[in-house]
Amino acid sequence: MSTRSSNFKNPFSRPWMTETGAAAAAGGSGSIGLKGVVAGGITGGIEICITFPTEYVKTQLQLDEKGGTKKYSGIWDCVRSTVKGHGFFGLYRGLSVLLYGSIPKSAVRFGVFEQAKLYMITDNGTLTNTGKLACGLAAGVAEAVFAVTPMETVKVKFINDMRLEKPRFKGFFHGVGTIVREEGIGGVYKGVTATIMKQGSNQAIRFFVVESLRDWYKGGDRDKPVPKYVIGLFGGIAGAASVFGNTPIDVVKTRMQGLEAAKYKSTWDCFIKTWKHEGPLAFYKGTVPRLSRVVFDVAITFTIYDSIMDVFNYVWK
């Protein structure tokens, strides 16, 4: 066996997540890829149920424009109004969309990252800084096209629909059917450009930060274990970095996927109109609820996924 082949085995001698945490992809030889997909889906479902209310509030604030149509004065006003008008579970409007999309999103993200890593990994079994960014970017773009865009578009439309005096969508399948019937299949692909930009930058930033922090923690010893609480901490830092790095893209994406998206000719037109009518600070609407969600989200995703993979590797040979 060649030196290249010998070195190539090292990264897959145990689950990638045992070393890096949840934002990194699971995969490799044997059944590890399938384990990663299943574990990622389970992790995604748990994470969404815990953090979805902050995603709901963030989306509502991003859709809330200035002027007479403005509905909320801030985060707590949004929470209070929603609970008062629709009960506590009103904060979970659109949750089913994300639950339905968790498994395919995880499969695409993890699978593409591992495949990209095969091409980017160095002879000593590590990724360069460029490799970390490139693999994360590839994973983010792929998940945006194949899973996130339709899932996010429907989710935003569901939340936006709830803002109407008489909501039209009676449930997930009714809502999707209505959207496709009225707008065609393209109706669930609104904002695909902005979503690619968002997911690509999200995963590039997160993979880069987590991988870099992992390398720093290990200090050159690739077999040094990383405790779960440290994995969670690294995930939180990576999540915060991605929020500050791409919230403007997230705002544009949300508006391009809302029920009033027709007033924008393109992603660039949405950006220009938002800047012109609301100023640059509009691109950071919903930052606080998004920050609280993403930091917690990525941290627990790292920790939960790593723990599930430990169990899988014990019972699933």
pLDDT tens across the length of the chain (317 residues): 444 444 444 443 334 444 444 344 333 444 555 666 677 777 778 888 887 888 788 778 877 766 556 778 888 888 988 898 888 888 888 787 667 777 778 777 877 777 787 788 888 878 899 999 999 999 899 889 988 888 777 777 877 787 777 878 877 778 788 888 888 888 878 778 878 988 899 999 998 998 899 889 988 888 888 899 999 999 999 999 998 888 888 788 778 777 677 788 887 888 898 888 888 888 888 788 778 778 988 898 778 877 877 787 788 77
Residue 303 confidence (pLDDT): 84
Q: Is 279 left (phi over 0), alpha (psi -120 to 50) or beta?
A: left
Residue 31 confidence (pLDDT): 57
Residue 9 confidence (pLDDT): 41
Phi, psi dihedral angles at 183 (to 5 degrees): -120, -5
Residue 15 neighbours by CB distance under 10 Å: 22
Residue 59 confidence (pLDDT): 78
Indicate whether this model's pTM tops 0.85.
no
Cα–Cα separations (whole angstroms), residue 102 to 46, 48, 262? 10, 9, 28
Q: Which amino acid is at 16?
A: W
Question: Is residue 66 a contact partner of residue 279, using CB atoms and an 8 Å limit?
Answer: no
